[in-house]
A and B are shown apart, each in its own frame.
Chain A
């Protein structure tokens, strides 16, 4: 696989930010996503916002003009479930991304004893917001921008209640510059905190599910008690402060993992039982679950990391029909769900190299998804799923000036991303370079993996 030499890209200063008072891209094809495609139009950007878009737009006198002949302007791409911006979220030791894993990264903190039940709040950091953990220096940000991404919905991903995701723009010197919305959803995984006998609760899938259920019961109870206490504390025992429940209560929606059809059915029922607005992520077998998903009326996030035969697979191993079928059909999930009327968006799932991302989307297009819908699944759809479509996701007057400008159509092999605009600031992508043999980029964490 050919990939970018990240270090080179960062240090050569290829990405140059320029900040004139206004920019006008003229005579370009404009894919607005929210409306019809403008074959020859102009987009004016000022103070980080889209000032005007249309066929006959007056170019302001003070605008820097970009000749758009032969170029296409799209809304900036959005990664629907990401860890970009929070490096160091490497997966914990095998067997659990829970408490022990967190502790292992901070040697000064003594290792906590194994959890003995839901009351110990195992593998829970529901109060953490991605917005508070952002490191603008994450190298993957530069790489993602080169692929046309301007925005990510980035999450802490370690633990059962990992924390709250934030919508961030992929530029900024300080973390605060990057945040569009600090809390949009709670990331839930079905990882196990402990393992085996006496190894910490929960150690099984049913234990994990029971724990999640108990947390929501506790949260509802906590709310009632707290409100009663706030109303009149006299005569009521002081309710204990519980940050785990605080974090759960302030989350607007929950992300639940579901790769297999059985898991989709299970998680849809679970979300309904918990009475939480939910988004399912994973979707490896989405191609055979359209009916269930449609009935569930829950939006889904489709991983762009399509299943592949493991490189070190035993050539003599007999694979099941289902395994073979899933590898063959997984990329058709987006088109199947589109036809069924299920709302979906894409997410990078550990891919961060422009070429890999582009190839992955191309696979879905080859499997029947229209180019238009592919663009939507990376722009307006994720924005709608997270309730930020009033700000990003399409090229409309008044929205944030997040744009990607290409020569050729997005997701084609020969297409080049010419520039991206984030908050109206222009970036020129780093040229792709060969990575020296044997050097692999760090893959900090892959949400949705191991589910």
Chain B
């Protein structure tokens, strides 16, 4: 009984370090090769060759993709899936001690669903309840692996910041609504200027902390044996930000706040790696580009709160034209499954080219996460993270057929669909078994009519 289930899992499991070739496909490479009709050779998890004609090694697994389209694995620069026990440590305004890495749930079904939508990599962020939030991590959607097996090895970790309405919310009474016996412990800050102050104060502390450790390290280097300073998990990641060892991904909406954070970063000598949501980014695109930050925005979602009223669907296109690296994100387990059509919207609003639009969910987020040497386009030497669509992928009607990560098949639509009856049967067996084992009511016992 279990064996059928296990067999089903093995069938879906990665094939191992073999050679796989995708043939006869329309390949949108997102590289300088552009879109070609040809083949991709994948070996040991990497793309070994891509072109109109390639050498097919003997014994290679061949996927015939005649009439189908191939794109690089989709990258979502803003997601909260696969997180267990809350995405916000909302009790404090600086929750940098919290780390997504500690609470990865590799069994979250949203991972598999994201895969089915062509997503192969996602930037998993802490929520936006705090001026300075928790530590973030980049994951590959390697469904079936354990928590550490999902981690995008070598990708720089990040930290979430948030500006505006979310972090300035005052907070709730500790024992829930309607509790009048306990004092309302309003959380600082309650204003936008308070958010700035909170961030500055945290970095003042981080600077002092860094100085303390630098002094200690210098003493150790001189051969002395001083007592080490206390390791503070709240300040440790901020110290890493100051040292350029951790990226800042900041949730933001309004132009004035975006400029504020750029000033704060300049004052303390660190960089903002990406502005997230950044709905008014089009107003300050030049400044964002000058800072060197990326912008990860929504395609056409706005007016869901006051600070989102000035959003326009041309945001992505306008920022791109000013030289900002722009990506489109989901911030949602549901939207995550159709980021291809989010990219397509950028063609409608702002007249972005097909290649540029697709880059907004592939190469651009890879650049924003500094993993573009590994993923984001179909080029020799990069990770074999590949999505095969049945139709033109920037269309509502395109369906993902297969998804490969590191050259291994992680999603196969045919197998998924054909495997459903067997899974349903397994489940029904368990339901029936449990029903049989349940004690029956004694004969003659009264039953409710």
Would you call A413 an interface residue if the criterion is a C-beta within 8 Å of the partner chain's C-beta atoms? no
Query: Across the interface, do A203 and B91 meet the contact criterion of CB distance under 8 Å?
Result: yes
Contact pattern, B 167-182, Cβ under 8 Å of A = 1, otherwise 0: 0011111111000001
* A207, chain B: closest CB distance, angstroms: 4
Using known A-B contacts A198-B91, A321-B423, determine if residue A206 contacts B86 with beta carbons closer than 8 Å. yes
User: CA A200 – CA B182 in complex, angstroms?
Assistant: 13
Chain A min CB distance to B365 (Å): 24
Measured in the bound complex, the distance between the Cα atoms of B228 and A190 in whole Å is 29
Q: Which of B67-103 contact A (CB under 8 A)?
A: 83-92, 95, 97-100, 102-103
B106 close to A262 (CB less than 8 A): yes
How many whole Å from B213's CB to the nearest CB in chain A?
13
| Contact call A265/B90, Cβ cutoff below 8 A | no
Q: Is A228 an interface residue (CB 8 A)?
A: yes
Name the interface size band of chain B.
Answer: 35 or more
Nearest Cβ on chain B to A319's Cβ, whole angstroms: 8
Cβ of A450 to closest chain B Cβ, rounded Å? 12
**Contacting residue for A205 out of B84, B147, B234, B426, CB 8 A:** B84
The residue on A at minimum CB distance from B92 is: A201
Q: Are B185's CB and A113's CB within 8 A?
A: yes
Q: Which of A194, A218, A228, A321 contacts B91 (CB 8 A)?
A: A194
Does residue B186 face the partner (Cβ distance < 8 Å to A)? Answer: yes
A202 within 8 Å of B by Cβ?
Answer: yes
Within 8 A of B (CB), among A180-229: 190, 194-211, 213-214, 217-218, 221, 224-225, 228
- Cβ A199 vs Cβ B97 within 8 A: no
Partner of B431, one of A228, A262, A324: A324
- Contact residues in A for B105 (Cβ distance below 8 Å): 262
Chain A residues with CB below 8 A from B427, complex form: 321, 324
Question: A207-B98, A262-B84 given as contacts; is B185 within 8 A of A221 (CB)?
Answer: no
Choose among A206, A209, A211, A224 the residue that contacts B228 (Cβ–Cβ < 8 A). A224
Q: Which residues of B contact A137 (CB under 8 A)?
A: none
The interface stretch among A57-65, A80-88, A114-122 is A114-122
Confirm or deny: A266 has a beta carbon within 8 angstroms of a beta carbon on chain B.
yes
Contact of B231 among A93, A206, A221, A269 (CB under 8 A): A221
Once the chains bind, are A224 and B97 in contact (CB under 8 Å)?
no
- B233 sits at the interface (CB 8 A): yes
Q: State the majority secondary structure of interface residues on A.
A: helix
Contact assessment for A321 and B430 in the assembled complex, using a CB-CB cutoff below 8 Å: yes
Which single residue of chain A is at the shortest CB-CB distance from B1?
Answer: A328
Count the A-B residue pairs with Cβ separation under 8 angstroms: how many? Answer: 157
- Contact between A196 and B85, CB atoms less than 8 A apart: no
Q: Contacts of A115 on B, CB cut-off 8 Å? A: 91
B residues less than 8 Å from A214 (CB atoms): 97, 232-233
Whether the Cβ atoms of B85 and A205 lie closer than 8 Å is yes
* C-alpha spacing A225/B227, complex, angstroms: 7
Interchain nearest-CB distance for A362 vs B (Å): 14
Are A328 and B434 in touch, CB under 8 angstroms?
Answer: yes
Determine whether the beta carbon of B146 is less than 8 Å from that of A198. no
Contact of A197 among B97, B187, B234, B430 (CB under 8 A): B187
Closest to B186 in A: A198
**Contact for B171 among A199, A218, A324, CB less than 8 A:** A199
Shortest beta-carbon distance from A6 to chain B in Å = 25
Q: Do A207 and B89 touch across chains, with their CB atoms under 8 A apart?
A: yes
Q: Determine the chain B residues whose CB is within 8 A of the CB of A190 once the complex forms.
A: 85
Closest Cβ of chain A to B187, distance in Å, is 3
Q: Select the residue from B90, B234, B426, B433 with max chain A CB neighbours within 10 A.
A: B90
| A325-349 to B contact mask, C-beta < 8 Å, 1/0 | 1011000000000000000000000
What are 26 inter-chain pairs, A to B, with CB distance below 8 A? A93-B175, A114-B91, A195-B176, A197-B129, A197-B187, A198-B172, A199-B174, A202-B91, A203-B89, A203-B90, A204-B88, A205-B102, A205-B103, A210-B102, A211-B97, A214-B97, A217-B230, A217-B233, A221-B231, A224-B228, A262-B106, A262-B147, A309-B434, A324-B427, A324-B430, A324-B434
**What 7 A-B pairs come out closest when comparing CB atoms?**
A205-B85, A198-B171, A198-B187, A204-B86, A197-B171, A207-B89, A210-B97
Q: Which residues of A contact B (CB under 8 A)?
A: 93, 95, 100, 111, 113-118, 190, 194-211, 213-214, 217-218, 221, 224-225, 228, 260-262, 265-266, 269-270, 292, 309, 321-322, 324-325, 327-328
Interface positions of B (Cβ within 8 A of A):
83-92, 95, 97-100, 102-103, 105-107, 126, 129, 134, 146-148, 169-176, 182-183, 185-187, 227-228, 230-234, 423, 426-427, 430-431, 433-434
